Chains A and B, each alone.
Chain A
Amino acid sequence: MDEQQLIEAAQSGDLTAFNRLVLSYQDHAYNLAYRILGDPHLADDAAQNAFISAYRHIKGFRGGSFKAWILRIVTNACYDELRRQKRQPTVSIEPLTATGEEVESPGWLEDPAEQPEDSAARSELSKAIQHCILSLPEEFRTIIVLVDVEGLDYAEASAVVGRPLGTVKSRLARARLRVQECLQGFGELLPLSFRLKPETER
């Protein structure tokens, strides 16, 4: 069965057909959630909730890019999680020093997404990039992950975030510029060509 047939079967209530679609897109869903949320556990919950929500609303899929439709649900689930975190900030469980201060661990340098079964290369550069992406505002973060990480084109990204095409273009440019400026702070980690300063700044 091709994807369209699976979608139609899922819309008819075939859970097995829907699960086949889940297996096809779960990596994209988790990757997006992880890059937006920056936490593997939160990304896991968001991805699971997103697929449950997708099954409930599968009849609302009217055609087009099913990947964009799924990723939109994942994005919304991530936004829900971010809003929940703002309302209920988590308490740090970092150990305290003798003076009562938290031991600051460079958690942002770690890549928790790396699992034993994960083949992704361990790279400080990727960690730095992830750090810079997480420093972006939510809207910019989502756009750059959708376009540059997930490979969506402008139209698909526009459909995912529900914003006009011009907004997507503007936000993507500003997100890239901010990441570029952020990466400048990691000097030695960057490729030599990236570290080259503009001629006008020399």
Chain B
Amino acid sequence: MKNKLSLGDWELVSQYIDNELSQKERSRLEGRLQKEPALRLAVEQMRQTRQLVRSLPKVRAPRRYTLTPEMLPQPAWILRLLPTFQLASALATILFVLVVASDLFGFLSATSQDSFLNLRAAEPAASFDIEAMPTPTTPSFFLEAEEESAAPAAQDLMEAQAPEEMFAEEPVQEGVVEEAAPETPFGQIQDSETPPGVGIMNTDMPSLEAGVDERGLTENVTGGGQLTPVVSPEPGTENTATPTPSPEPTPTPTPTPALEDDLGAELQEEPGDDRRGLSPEVSRILVRVIEVSLAAAATIFAALAIWLRRQSL
């Protein structure tokens, strides 16, 4: 009866002669070897086969296989650009991330630009609006107040006050205020309830333009008999003769010393001054174009780098 070993048994035998069996498998196989003669023969044959194969002579190399620089393939000139493309791809990616991050955080967004631009646009407009207001003419509420008050009294007051005092650059003391303007043409009297100099300080039109020519105002004051609000040459200056308007909401923002400086600076702008920069829509488009360009550049450089790397391999 022919006892043919299975392929699995032959594999066990092969591993057995190479000592590659686990302890458990080895013990099991050795137990079988004592009982199965065919298995013992298979082990012997496998050992001999391995020995025969191992007896093959080791053939030596017929020559030296050492390399020379000439034998090494020189990379094509384009392959030398691989590091350049890798660097370019990395830089483009970093710039893309920075631009997108800046856009997301609003540094370059149209919204912030809009608000910024609007603010800057509003300031000069406010000042221009003020400037556009009829300075020589008295606003309506002033006129109404004037009607109510004694006109002769106002004129007397204006004539009595020296021009120099009107344009006094130094801050006027409280006492001076009370002394010089006991009564305003608009009926507003510097009484105890009114803090001295408040009405003067709250003057809208006259005290806005800090850089207005004094001579012009002086002429307005002295000539024509019109009641011209006196403008303080410097912020914070109190003009005792300035008629104070009634405390009503004014169409223009109340000028503050700090704002007067800003407005004065704005007035010095030329009409054609383009400090606003690009329009919001153009800015948005520009940012998007930059983002798309950087993304495309990063992608292209990365693809070229990958292709060159494969070529070099």
Contact = CB atoms under 8 A, between A and B. Distances in A.
Given A169-B14, A183-B49, A31 B59 contact: yes
B2 interface: yes
Contacts of A130: 56
Contacts of B45: 180, 194, 198
A176 interface: yes
A68 B96 CA distance: 45
Chain B interface extent, by class: 35 or more
B57 A120 contact: yes
Contacts of A174: 7, 10-11
Contacts of B1: 200
Contact of B55 (A40, A44, A126, A200): A126
A1 interface: no
B216 to A, nearest CB: 84
Nearest to A133: B53
Interface size band for A: 35 or more
Report whether over half of chain A's contact residues are helix, strand or loop; otherwise say mixed: helix
Nearest to B71: A52
Contacts of B13: 173
Contacts of A129: 52-53, 55-56
Interface in B35-70: 37-38, 41-42, 44-46, 48-50, 52-67, 69
Given A115-B62, A129-B56, A200-B1, A15 B11 contact: no
A47 B59 CA distance: 13
B135 interface: no
A113 B3 CA distance: 40
A23 interface: yes
A118 B52 contact: no
B18 interface: yes
B52 A22 contact: no
A179 B54 CA distance: 12
Contact of A27 (B14, B48, B61, B71): B61
A66 interface: no
Nearest to A190: B52
B132 interface: no
Residue of B41, B44, B50, B59 with highest tally of chain A CB at under 10 A: B59
A111 to B, nearest CB: 8
B129 interface: no
Given A176-B46, A199-B37, A19 B67 contact: yes
B7 to A, nearest CB: 7
A169 B21 CA distance: 10
Interface in B144-172: none
A154 interface: yes
Nearest to B312: A56
B20 interface: yes
A55 interface: yes
Contacts of A194: 45, 48-49, 52
B186 to A, nearest CB: 92
A201 interface: yes
Contacts of B37: 199-200
A193 interface: yes
Among B14, B60, B65, the one with the most A-chain Cβ atoms within 10 Å of its Cβ is: B65
A198 B46 CA distance: 12
A186 to B, nearest CB: 10
B15 interface: yes
Contacts of A103: none
Contacts of A23: 64, 66
A176 B59 contact: no
A144 B14 contact: no
A191 B61 CA distance: 29
A154 B44 CA distance: 21
Contacts of B71: 52
B78 interface: no
A200 B60 contact: no
B14 A40 contact: no
B10 A177 contact: yes
B112 to A, nearest CB: 50
A126 B57 CA distance: 8
18 contacts: A15-B69, A19-B67, A22-B65, A23-B64, A56-B313, A57-B313, A113-B59, A114-B59, A118-B59, A125-B55, A129-B55, A148-B50, A148-B54, A149-B54, A154-B18, A154-B20, A174-B11, A179-B53
- 5 closest Cβ pairs, A-B complex: A120-B57, A173-B14, A113-B59, A30-B61, A19-B66
Interface of A: 15, 18-19, 22-23, 26-27, 29-31, 34-35, 40, 44, 47-48, 51-52, 55-57, 113-115, 117-121, 123, 125-126, 129-130, 133, 144, 147-149, 154, 169-170, 172-174, 176-177, 179-180, 183, 190-191, 193-194, 198-201
